[in-house]
Structure 1
Amino acid sequence: MRAIGKVAKLSQQGWWLLVVATLFMTGIALSGTFINVYIWKMDRTYEAITWFNLFTFFCIPLAFVGGGYLASKIGEAWVMRSGVTVLVIFFAVLLALGPSSVHYVKWLGICFGIGQGFYWFSFHVFSFDFTNPDNRAKFTGLSGLFASLASMTGPYVAGYLIVRVRQVSGYHAVFALSFTIFALLFIATFRLPKKELPHRPQLSLALRLNQDSDWRRLLIGSVVFGLREGLFSFLVALLVFDVSKSEEGLGLYGLYTGFLSLIAFLLAAFIGKREGLRKFGMGLAAFLLGIIPFLFMQSVSARSLFLFGTTTSFVLPFFLVPFGTMVMNEIDESIRSARYRAEHLAVREIALGIGRVVGIGGFLAFVVYSQNVNWIPYLMMALGFAQFLVFLITYRVTYTDRKASDQSVIEVVKEKREGRSLQRMK
């Protein structure tokens, strides 16, 4: 039996990875929301901001694949640094272009997507290597907790700066602050271990759709999850800004919802230790997430957005922690899948990317061909049940430690080879 108390503790590398992740999320939280608002204010249409997000989410999975090939040459740590460098360049270009950046949203989206893709590839590989099935839910919960802290304080600080430093100059101050944080993040990555992937990536090995029904369910679930997640990642913030007419109001909204998420991630990490309770929480959260968008049936108002933000921010962590843990544990089931962890993570990100691009692409089609935005609440209601559909697809996924049996097979094959070698020598 494994010593549960020992393996459940996070290693020093695991804790440092959480520090790196918190710096990254702080930089993104400061500017991520207000990049969308900044572009929207310059253009005053949904089209430019949708193109920006479409190219961002299209490039993230491509960067995952590219990150896998780079990791076999230069190691995961340098892939992460490459991503952070691209993000530093992104904010430098955004500062240099100023209001004219609205004319380059596609190129900016590509840059933002590549930077995030390289970072998230390395983060997921490191988080897999630094955790195990006994402490993975704890790591995921703590990661979400620190991300909530960042998403709670980042938008509020950014909104305060923008209002106090006179609008456009305030946006530049926020982007400069994110630039500085990512420069610090670049330095922080040097405490991560330098190691290269032991082989060239082979994505075909991670597809194995016909061989593993659990992995197939998780990939299909990831596509469905991306449908809602991609669109809601920027649309809700724009609706809040449109209703509040103030960056500070949007920042206060982020502070409030981030605080609720922080509490929820703490609770989700606690109940994540028990699989039965974890799955029950995931199912209940998925059902509630499907009902919440019906608040917009009558109108998108301050009241409906407040209720939506309150419920979503508290409920969503109970879905995210089990879902993320499920994916990591499925990869960790056997020696073979764990060896090709980078390929599995890249394929999973491609599945997420497909869902995000389809969701945002559908929204863009409506924006381009329809001048009426009254259909937006109905689209949000239609996508609201995506998480519940994900739960129905994945609730049968179970973790089975096959490493012991894999090791037995490896030893048998090794003995047979050694026996053949002895016969040849005789």
Structure 2
Amino acid sequence: MHKDQSQTRRRQGRAAEGQASNYFGHQASGGGNEAKIHKGRLDAQAILLLIVHTLFGSANALSGTFVGVYLWKAKNDFALIGWFTLATHLTMAITFWLAGKWVKEHNKMNCLRVGVSVSAVFYMLVLWLGPSSIHYFVWLGMVQGISSGLFWVAFNVVYFEVTDPDNRDRFNGWIGLLGSGAGIVAPWISGGLIIRLGDVSGYRLIFSISLGVFLLGVVISFFLKKRKVQGTYEWLFPLRCLRQPETPWKRVSLALVFQGVREGVFGFMIALLVYISTASEASLGNFVLITSAVSLVSFWAAGRFIKPHFRKISMLIGAIMVVVVIFPFFWKMGYSTLLLFGLGASLFFPMYSVPMVSAVFDLIGSNEASAKQREEYIVLRELSLNVGRMLGVLLFIGVISWSKAPLIINVLLLVIGSSPLVSWYFMKRQLSVIKP
């Protein structure tokens, strides 16, 4: 690794077979006008990957929003849901590390397909176990962690290979936009079905629909081309990388850890608080519909207008504002303040997340040597995120086991929710690295 490699940043992207190209997939000569015309656009493989991601996200949006509520209704225990989440993130981290060899040396598309299939298995298990799922929450968390680990390690490697610095922000914007679109419709439908059909039939139906959508995602994934494999997986690469004295990955990894702190807790806690405040799955569905509609517009704008030169200031504004919107909780914890938080977070979070994701993947592709070890760097990225998620959940479990007083919970959410500011601090130097 070099220091920040600000003078050596080169474009990485898609190499067409049979064409004379440099390592990053751009033709060494000729085709200049065509390259300019298509600069920043997404090709067919990138669009297919977006479709698979959208199906995966839609299935999770249909049911994932309500898994925490499902467990809560079986037993009103914050700590239990925290342990379920911790089991998920711990298993996800281990799966990432182990599956790195699969995507490095074997068929990464099969890894992605198995990840989607195991997600379907998770909902099959929930359907089969029914209300007794509460007694197997650790095992269910592990199955969910395996599915997420397999899917995301393969998805992120393929994402790196089908994008380049010219279209990465655009791709990330579309990811958020389509995910928000799924979030607008799916939870709203799910909440309505649960209310209309009742707990048993409603949850059984939405979990069954999710199962079908996951299977459709597996079918669509077969239209993605088999990716070339190169090199041998280095098991201890994360340790070796972080031991290098001048590597920017020390700062970036810390930024990712603090990003994960917020994700680990807010990923389940906000939806649960909405349900507790309203005692209605339909209200939770409406909450997600409204906030996802705002996210849709915000992610579209972030993908379109946030350019590499604006990443640093964009991420700072986003980090500050997602902290500011937590303060209304100290006035009153109810549906109105939760909705205010949701709207604010949906509006400003893309300003934080899009630059973060793009800058990290640009660093992975900053030179030929690091791009060849993209699988190991992606594993390092995900290990850092999951360490942060586990730390956040452990802090949550520790505090909630000590006190469930509203003030304590609000302070806890503020502390955990402020982690994006720390993430920006460690990331700001890398955000200033712009390819020539």
Q: Tell me if both proteins adopt one fold, taking TM over 0.5 as the criterion.
A: yes
Match for 1:76 among 98, 108, 119? 108
Q: Which amino acid aligns with 2:189?
A: V
- The Cα shift of 1:46 comes to 1.0
Tell me if 1:330 matches 2:363.
yes
What's the CA shift for 1:390?
Answer: 1.1
For 1:147 and 1:388, the matched residues in 2 are separated by 24
- Structure 2 residue 293 is the aligned partner of structure 1 residue 259: yes
Match of 1:50 among 58, 65, 82: 82
Q: Distance in 2 between matches of 1:299 and 1:246?
A: 19
**Structure 1 match to 2:68:** 36
How far apart are the structure 2 equivalents of 1:49 and 1:94?
15
- SS in structure 2 of the partner of residue 333 of structure 1: coil
TM-score (norm 2): 0.88
Cα distance in structure 2, aligned partners of 1:269 and 1:176: 33
**238-247 or 277-286, larger mean C-alpha shift:** 277-286
3-state DSSP of counterpart to 1:70: helix
Q: 1:307-362 deviations in whole A, cap 9, x for unaligned?
A: 10110011101111100000110001010110000100001100001110011011
Asked whether 1:98 is paired with 2:130, we answer: yes
1:136-165 Cα shifts (integer Å, max 9, x gaps): 111111111111111221111110111111
Q: Does 1:270 align with 2:304?
A: yes
The partner residue of 1:120 within 147, 152, 169 is 152
1:20 matched to which residue of 2?
Answer: 52
Q: Secondary structure at the match of 1:343?
A: helix
- Within a 5 Å distance, the mapping from 1:152-301 to structure 2 comes to 152-195=184-227, 197-206=229-238, 207-209=240-242, 210-272=244-306, 274-301=307-334
After superposition, the C-alpha distances for 1:52-111 in whole angstroms (9 at most, x for unaligned) are 111111111211112211224531100011111211111111100000000000000000
Gaps of 5+ in 1: 403-426
Residue identity opposite 2:379 in structure 1? A
Q: Counterpart of 2:343? A: 310
> Which deviations, in whole Å up to 9, do the C-alpha atoms of 1:1-22 show, x marking residues without a partner?
9744323111110010000010
Residues of 2 paired with 1:145 and 1:50: CA distance? Answer: 29
After superposing the two structures, state which structure 1 stretch, 204-213 or 226-235, moved more: 204-213
Aligned residue number for residue 171 of structure 2? 139
Equivalent residue number for residue 424 of structure 1: none
Q: In the alignment, is the contact (CA less than 8 A) between 1:333 and 1:400 conserved in 2? A: no
RMSD, aligned CA: 1.7
Quick one: which of 329, 342, 346 aligns to 2:375? 342
> How big is the shift at 1:370?
3.4
Any unmatched runs of 5+ in structure 2?
1-28
Contact residue 101 and residue 233 of structure 2 kept, 8 A: yes
Cα deviation, residue 229, structure 1: 1.1
CA distance 1:129–1:46, change in 2 (3 Å): same
Q: Which residue of 1 aligns with 2:26?
A: none
SS in 1 for 2:227: coil
Aligned-residue offset at 1:368: 2.9
- Cα distance in 2 for residues equivalent to 1:358 and 1:393: 18
Contact 2:105 2:233 in 1 (8 A): no
Return the offset for 1:201. 1.5
Match of 1:216, as an amino acid? K
Residues 285, 371 of structure 1: alpha-carbon distance in 2 compared, 3 angstrom cutoff: closer
Q: CA offsets, 1:405-426, max 9 Å, x none?
A: xxxxxxxxxxxxxxxxxxxxxx
Distance 1:137 1:212, change over 3 A: farther
TM-score scaled by length of structure 1:
0.90
Q: How far did residue 303 of structure 1 move?
A: 2.1
Q: Is the 8 A contact 2:46 2:159 kept in 1?
A: yes
Say whether the 8 Å CA contact 2:104–2:375 is kept in structure 1: no
Residue pair 1:82, 1:115 contacting (<8 A) in 2 also: yes
Letter in 2 for 1:290: V
Question: Measured at CA, do residues 181 and 170 of structure 1 come closer, stay the same or move farther in structure 2, by a change above 3 Å?
Answer: same
Give the Cα separation in 2 of the matches to 1:271 and 1:311: 19
Larger CA deviation: 121-130 vs 281-290: 281-290
Contact 1:291–1:384 (CA under 8 A) maintained in structure 2:
no
CA change 1:150–1:53 in 2 (3 A) is: same
- Structure 1 residue 211: Cα displacement: 4.8
CA contact (8 A) 1:205 1:343 kept: yes
Based on CA coordinates, which of the two structures has the bigger radius of gyration? 1
Q: Which residue identity lines up with residue 96 of structure 1 in the other structure?
A: W
Write the distance in 2 (CA, Å) between the matches of 1:87 and 1:269.
28
List per-residue Cα deviations over 1:9-37 (Å, max 9, x = no partner): 11110010000010000001111110110
Cα offset for 1:265? 0.4
